[in-house]
Structure 1
Amino acid sequence: MHPELAPRQADCLLFDWDGTLVDTQHANYQAMAGALAEEAVELEQEWFDAHTGLSSGDAIKTLAEERDLRLSRPVEEIVARRDELFLEKAHTVRPHTEVLKVVNAMRRQVPMAVASGGSRRIIEVTLRDQPFRDFFDAFVTRDDVKCGKPAPDIFLRAAEVVGAEPARCTVYEDSDEGIAAAHAAGMTVIDVRPFTGRPRP
């Protein structure tokens, strides 16, 4: 694994899902743009890329507030439609190579969990085609907590599930919101963007 991605003195590793463990950027954008197109809303790639740390629901709410949109359906229904569109492409998603090296190297060395602002159902379906599908001790998603990133809830819950002290956890993230959440949880964080091809904003 790359030296800058190596965890140091961590009792637990927590991995974000979208953009960190797996390259879902294109599939996620297509799904969100497709769901919003049904509302006659055009979603620009640039806007989507700048807000990938938000859950789908929070992203739609943010977009609606920014543009003063009147949506014809509840946000929950638009998210459900986005999920349907994503699942049609879930089998095309591949892991990020450099982060996969960390997972492979640290397997069975320390507890590892996925801590994602995404949907559990989406992750479970996408996981079926991943080479690391049996490597994690826990999966914590937006469905398991009250507040998504940048609140620390997801990371704190993941640490609790695997029995680790937050201060002894290292988080792998690819978004400003996720990094803020990890810091708010009192955890060490490694920004994977230099190793996944996604530029920092």
Structure 2
Amino acid sequence: MRLQSAIFDMDGTLLDSMFIWDDLGVGLLRRKGIQTAPDLPEKLKVMTLRQGAAYCKAEYGLAESVDDIVAECEAQVEDFYRNRVEAKPGVKKFLSLLKMEGVWMYVATATDRHLAEAALRHAGIDGYFRGMLTCSEVGQGKESPEIYERAMRRLRSTKRDTVVFEDALHAIQTAKTAGFRVCGVYDPFAEAEQAEIRRICDYYIRSFEEMFETETLE
């Protein structure tokens, strides 16, 4: 895996954190006594927090404003990110290796900046990255390649020399279609999509610990 620069998704890729997002919308509505559609988590996972709040308000007739819904969700997520979130096994060692080899790294996440910064700081990996971009800052979710394109430009790199690390199929498809090399990272919350992720990715790992068991980094 020859690379000059790397762009990392955060939740489900660097951090063991997808479960907090998977239950966020359902949990919010459940606490209000509302039964949700079975496919709600699937719909929300491609949205930013504000987009998801607006969707839940419109779809389930919530009386609260979008701002209030976002604030309620953020309080739950922020507590988790500031106090409990952990990096996935092997992540710190892998990032240290890349940094020693002079690889420039960026984070591209759908999570809002203040939450993402708190999460990376608590997990002890914030110091490895030259910067971060969020979907809210870019103005588009990961159905658009803009977040990867902009991160690549900030890294002063090219698609040939950049590898995007992602766990979610829709984001992987976006990066691949845009011409990036992509490393699929296994996360149990995307179990049903693993066959397709393996098929389309240039590289695939079940764990970052695998990177030290094989000659995958050149």
Structure 1 residues not aligned, in runs of 5+? 1-7
Q: Tell me by how many angstroms 1:53 deviates.
A: 4.0
- The yes-or-no answer on 1:106 pairing with 2:98 is yes
Query: Which TM-score applies when normalising by structure 2?
Result: 0.74
- Provide the C-alpha distance between the structure 2 equivalents of 1:45 and 1:173, rounded to a whole number of angstroms: 25
Instruction: Pick from 79, 96, 101 the counterpart of residue 88 of structure 1.
Output: 79
Indicate how the Cα distance of structure 1 residues 122 and 39 shifts in structure 2: closer, same or farther if over 3 A, else same: same
Q: Tell me by how many angstroms 1:27 deviates.
A: 2.5
- Provide the C-alpha distance between the structure 1 equivalents of 2:95 and 2:192, rounded to a whole number of angstroms: 23
Q: 1:36, 1:78 within 8 Å by CA — same for their partners in 2?
A: no
Q: Which residue of 1 aligns with 2:174?
A: 181
Summarize the alignment of residues 1-201 of structure 1 with structure 2, pairs less than 5 Å apart: 8-37=1-30, 40-43=33-36, 47-48=40-41, 51-61=44-54, 68-90=59-81, 91-108=83-100, 109-193=102-186, 196-198=187-189, 199-201=191-193
Larger radius of gyration: 2
Give secondary structure in 2 for the equivalent of 1:158: helix
Q: 1:31, 1:83 within 8 Å by CA — same for their partners in 2?
A: no
Structure 2 residues not aligned, in runs of 5+? 194-218
Indicate how the Cα distance of structure 1 residues 51 and 104 shifts in structure 2: closer, same or farther if over 3 A, else same: farther
Query: Which TM-score applies when normalising by structure 1?
Result: 0.80
Indicate how the Cα distance of structure 1 residues 82 and 42 shifts in structure 2: closer, same or farther if over 3 A, else same: farther
- Provide the C-alpha distance between the structure 1 equivalents of 2:137 and 2:104, rounded to a whole number of angstroms: 19
Q: Which residue identity is paired with 1:9?
A: R
Q: Tell me by how many angstroms 1:71 deviates.
A: 2.8
Q: 1:9, 1:168 within 8 Å by CA — same for their partners in 2?
A: yes
Indicate how the Cα distance of structure 1 residues 72 and 100 shifts in structure 2: closer, same or farther if over 3 A, else same: same
Q: Tell me by how many angstroms 1:168 deviates.
A: 2.4
Q: Tell me by how many angstroms 1:46 deviates.
A: 6.8
Indicate how the Cα distance of structure 1 residues 86 and 167 shifts in structure 2: closer, same or farther if over 3 A, else same: same
CA RMSD in angstroms, aligned pairs only: 2.6
Task: With a CA cutoff of 8 Å and minimum separation of 6, indicate the structure with the bigger relative contact order.
Answer: 1
- Provide the C-alpha distance between the structure 2 equivalents of 1:74 and 1:157, rounded to a whole number of angstroms: 32
Richer in helix (by share): 2
- Provide the C-alpha distance between the structure 1 equivalents of 2:176 and 2:64, rounded to a whole number of angstroms: 35
